[in-house]
Amino acid sequence: MSIRTAYSTKDLPEGVADLRAQCGQRVPPVVLFFGSSRYDAGQLSALMREYFPGTHLVGCSTAGEIAGTQLLTASVVAMFLDEDLVERAAVAVVPKMSAGPRVRDALRELESQFQAPLSSLDLERCVGVILMDGMSGAEEELMDKLGDATDIPFIGGSAGDDLKFQKTHVLADGRAYSDAAVLLLLRLKRGFDIVKTQSFRTSCKTLLATKVDEARRMVIEFDHQPALDAYARALGVSRAEAAAHFFEHPLGLMAAGEPFVRSPQRTEGSAIVFYCRIQEGMELELLDATDILGDTRKAVEARKAAGAVQGIIDFQCILRTLQLRKEQKCERYGEIFRGIPAVGFSTYGEAYLGHINQTSTMLLFR
């Protein structure tokens, strides 16, 4: 099998030894791993290097883990990609994200390892995985710079810390980093698909951001009115009731009929703080919640119908996971992936063509 997965709920170092035992005799060329913040990030990364020598290793801390049909907590999960799937791989770190991410330096490192310019690579078979510090507040700038610098698609998510919102880590080749991102570039033998699914539809009501504080991810005014008042008016509720509707009614930047979700986090007076930046002059649409199970199943089944799916990495927003837990739908969500090697984690934001919220971005291996 080209892809194997494993998980463990044991303490360190036994947890990593458990993953190694589940991997089998051969050490694969690429290992992705995602672990609860209950593990010391530096120790986890160092142990993975010890048990998987000579392997490209990338991972991060989480707000929950995904392994096959299970949505887990307090665990570490791993996906092993072997030579039948991966033709070549490279890893680079983007340090000091909050100071202005030096994306081009990281991309030059990837080119050095591939011994080829990124512009010469086959976009049908080359894909990137990106893992970012979820407390950096700099994911938007990094994704913008990445999109400006290369046409290779990068998909991934922001590291979590089990809802403590104190410190998150990205992990690469035996080390742990904060205020950083890790890039994994893969050249695959059979190609890939990308799925972006969010359980919302547009209400066809628009809000124009007319005054913002981008650095704080805060909208001060929509349509030249206090943001909270304008949001409440669009929703048809009182200002006092508005915040209670943030979860079911985020905002969406529409592109080709698809929403790229911006989720409200909290209020500050009459302003609204979001989980990702909204730029001044940006027109957004108020969204209505739909069926998370049905939407996800439809997205995955459509890809399966188009051809065999060898494995899935699921970067799922923690807000979606919290909804599944609240509605007691975790088992039913996991059943969508039955029969497919799958791992992932609950994120503090998702990455695909930008930084987004309340979304599941998935990398599917053919």
Q: What's the confidence (pLDDT) of residue 307? A: 81
- The CA distance from 119 to 363, in Å, is 21
Given a contact cutoff of 8 angstroms between Cβ atoms, the answer to whether 359 and 196 are in contact is yes
Q: Are strands 56-62 and 200-213 parallel, antiparallel or unpaired?
A: unpaired
Q: What is the pTM of this model?
A: 0.95
Q: What's the confidence (pLDDT) of residue 19? A: 97
Q: What's the confidence (pLDDT) of residue 142? A: 96
Q: What's the confidence (pLDDT) of residue 325? A: 95
- The CA distance from 261 to 356, in Å, is 6
Type of residue found at 53: P
- What's the pLDDT tens digit per position in 227-264? 999 999 999 999 999 999 999 999 999 998 889 999 99
Helices (H), the chain: 14-23, 41-51, 103-114, 139-149, 227-235, 239-242, 292-306, 318-326, 330-335
CA quadruple 33, 99, 278, 250: dihedral sign: positive
Q: Are strands 170-172 and 175-177 parallel, antiparallel or unpaired?
A: antiparallel
- What's the pLDDT tens digit per position in 136-173? 999 999 999 999 999 999 999 999 999 999 999 999 99
CA quadruple 227, 160, 166, 132: dihedral sign: negative
Radius of gyration of the chain (CA): 20
Q: What is the mean pLDDT of the chain?
A: 95
- The CA distance from 248 to 311, in Å, is 30
- What's the pLDDT tens digit per position in 51-81? 999 999 999 999 999 999 999 999 999 999 9
Q: Are strands 126-132 and 154-158 parallel, antiparallel or unpaired?
A: parallel
Task: Give me the DSSP letters along 274-308.
Answer: ESS---TT-EEEEEEE--HHHHHHHHHHHHHHHS-
